[in-house]
Structure 1
Amino acid sequence: MTLTPAQWWIPASAAGLALSMALQFFATTPRQRFLIGATPLLGFASIALSAVVRGDPVETALKLFTAGALGAAVARVVFTPYVRRQVARRRSGLPFEQLSGPKAAFFLVVLTAATLGVAATLSVLE
């Protein structure tokens, strides 16, 4: 199954929505919710601008954005217990706990693995 450039907007939009939903736990005010909701748009704009500057087609930017956004959303799901603890701390008036070096490294490994897994899955659509 091959997606046309016009069809790549569908998974990219779904990935942007998934990323926005995955990041909502950070938001505590309406302004923060708006900014987090805009994050996928800013991410795509950055990737698209980079692709245009290099002369790559927009389809490439859509594929990169989809892989990155879905990878981040999957990593967020993997870290749901940690995120729930942080949300509970925030709701009780405490700040987020500092992310330790090993936890940060583990998160980066999971994020990389999730993004590569999504990219491999998406490559089937080419």
Structure 2
Amino acid sequence: MPVPIPTPAITVLINGGSVFPNITQVYTFAFYPGITIAQALRNTGVVVIGFNGQIISVGGIPITDGITFVLSLNGRPIPSTLLNAPLQPGDSLELQLFFRPLRDDEEYYNQGTVQYEEERNYIDEDDLNGVD
């Protein structure tokens, strides 16, 4: 009798933390060659990525006005500029939301870079491709 071969999977954790606990959920999808980080996030049905390649909402929560996120691949923070990077069998993604209230009117008007707070201590494309 043939033994079934396990299908490699991709795991996506949407983590709303203590601020948005209602959106916290784990999604598991079958791996297929060429699947990207963006496709895996879209497959959850709760992540909306705009035409410009930026995450614009998660679980109906817009990424604006002090709501930021950290995207991690296999436990390591990565920049949102890697959304089109391919995944490998067994990869695990986490998208965690944070709320950081704006401190004053000046910060409100200059908040264009708030979304990119996740781009510290990240891996780059060479790390994904096995280049040292």
TM-score (norm 2): 0.30
More helix by share: 1
More strand by share: 2
Higher relative contact order, structure no. (Cα contacts within 8 Å, ≥ 6 residues apart): 1
